[in-house]
Amino acid sequence: MNKKLNRWVYAVVGVIVLLLAGLVYAWSVFSSPIAAYFSEWTKAQLSLTFTICMGFFCVGGLAGGLLSNKINTKVGVWISAALFFIGFFIASKSGSPATLYIGYGMFCGFASGFVYNMVMSTVLGWFPDKQGLISGVLLMGFGFGSFIIGKVYQAATPAGPGIDVWRNSFFVFGIVLLVVLGVSGFFFVKPTPADLAGIKVENGSGKEKKKEAGLEATPGEMLRTSAFWLYFVWAILLSAAGLALISQASGVATEVGPNVDPGTIATVVGLISVFNGIGRLIFGGLFDKMGRSKTMAIITVAFIVSVGVVLIALTQKNFGLIIAGFICTGFSYGGINPTNSAFISAFFGRKNYPVNFSIINMNLLISSFGGTIAGALYDASGSFVSTFILMIAAAAAALVCSVLIKSPKR
């Protein structure tokens, strides 16, 4: 079969792998039965699990970038499969927050970041002509993972004092990841120059894309540009704000609709992931069509407006409005990840993409504290209002950063 046609097979398998790897983002749903079982644990303690997970996601991504040219992608996928199994097995035995931090936070977080970078680097290599679009396609799968798997988990895992069915659910997740990623690993092959022959790569249409043509930069060269650091701060601010909502979404929805059944709450929270995935696809395509500055501006302004909607819904106790707010916030937040990938490729080239991409994703080491801060603010005030005000302020600062970014030049 023609290898140019085969590249779409890699994209499909990549979506499947990232869909499963993205389940770590379902923590807001996963934690509810755990919180009911360990009622003495605080929101801040549980939120710290997600913060640790995002931190090790970054470490795993960096490790994946550094090893991308030293091991086969299939081996990297298999390593992640084993780490996921170990992580969920440990988490299923949790009797203290520390065990949960190690299993879910460290092992599962590292596994997710490792396979994320391995798959993104390999599949994007097959699509030099569609960097934004394919980033969006892959990351849509990553975003949908938390919704689909979160719904399965919620349906199979009742919550309540003394109910520990979540232990069995975690163990089953570990088995499923081990098997599916183990099989999927066989499908990944890195492209050679001959495989890419004949694929026409446009330099972009429109004045902005020509003006913002980047360069081939090593990690050190990239780190010396103001463009990288302005973008890095932009990603931190918006990601922290987005993760603050994700980590507390179930609590927010429950506060707005105290009489709404848990199944509906889980569905509404899952809408963030669904539209996060759709946003990744749409904004990835917009990057290819409209360029960096317009795409970033649209993402940031849409995020500010969306969080404002959620804040109004919270203060007015309007459940219909909270649904709209979750949809809009998920959609705009979804634009960040494909923009990360497309920005690194467009501004700093493909040669050092695996390591450069893992470096830009290190923004999660800082932004992951958004969830912990949100949990601490709630513990201190008993309200989510202060969290959303802080989110709007962070997004406004991000807008300033996006305006100041200029293309790097040698």
Q: Which token pair is 73?
A: 């992608």
What residue ranges in 62-181 does DSSP mark as E strands?
Answer: none
Closest CA to 166 of 153, 148, 149: 153
> Is the alpha carbon torsion for 13, 14, 19, 23 positive or negative?
positive
Q: Which residue has the tokens 């890419």?
A: 196
Q: Which residue has the tokens 């970038």?
A: 65
Residue 201: predicted pLDDT = 62
Q: Are 372 and 385 in contact (CB under 8 A)?
A: no
The runs of H, that is alpha helices, within 157-261 are 165-184, 207-211, 219-223, 226-256
Q: Are 4 and 199 in contact (CB under 8 A)?
A: yes
Q: Are 123 and 345 in contact (CB under 8 A)?
A: no
Percent of the chain as helix, strand, coil, to the nearest 5: 80, 0, 20
Q: How far apart are CA 108 and CA 36, in angstroms?
A: 22
Please give the domain boundaries of the chain with CATH numbers for all domains: 3-404 (1.20.1250.20)
Decide: helix, strand or coil at residue 2.
Answer: coil
State phi, psi for 101 to the nearest 5 degrees. Answer: -60, -40
- Model pTM? 0.74
- What are the C-alpha distances in Å from 274 to residues 16, 52, 53, 90, 287? 15, 24, 21, 29, 20
- What are the C-alpha distances in Å from 128 to residues 122, 125, 132, 203, 355? 11, 6, 10, 11, 17
Q: Which token pair is 63?
A: 């490790």
Instruction: Kindly give the confidence (pLDDT) of every residue in the chain, 410 residues in length, as a single tens digit, with 9 standing for 90 and above.
Output: 344 447 888 899 999 999 999 889 888 788 889 988 898 888 788 888 988 998 899 899 889 888 888 889 999 999 999 999 999 999 999 989 999 999 999 999 999 999 998 998 889 888 877 777 888 888 888 877 877 888 788 888 877 776 888 999 999 999 999 999 999 999 888 888 877 776 766 544 444 444 455 578 899 999 999 999 999 999 999 999 888 887 778 888 888 888 888 778 878 887 887 888 888 888 888 887 888 888 999 999 999 999 999 999 988 889 989 999 999 999 999 888 888 888 888 888 878 888 898 899 888 778 877 877 877 887 777 778 888 888 899 999 999 999 999 887 65
The separation between CA 286 and the C-alpha centre of its own chain, rounded to angstroms, equals: 19
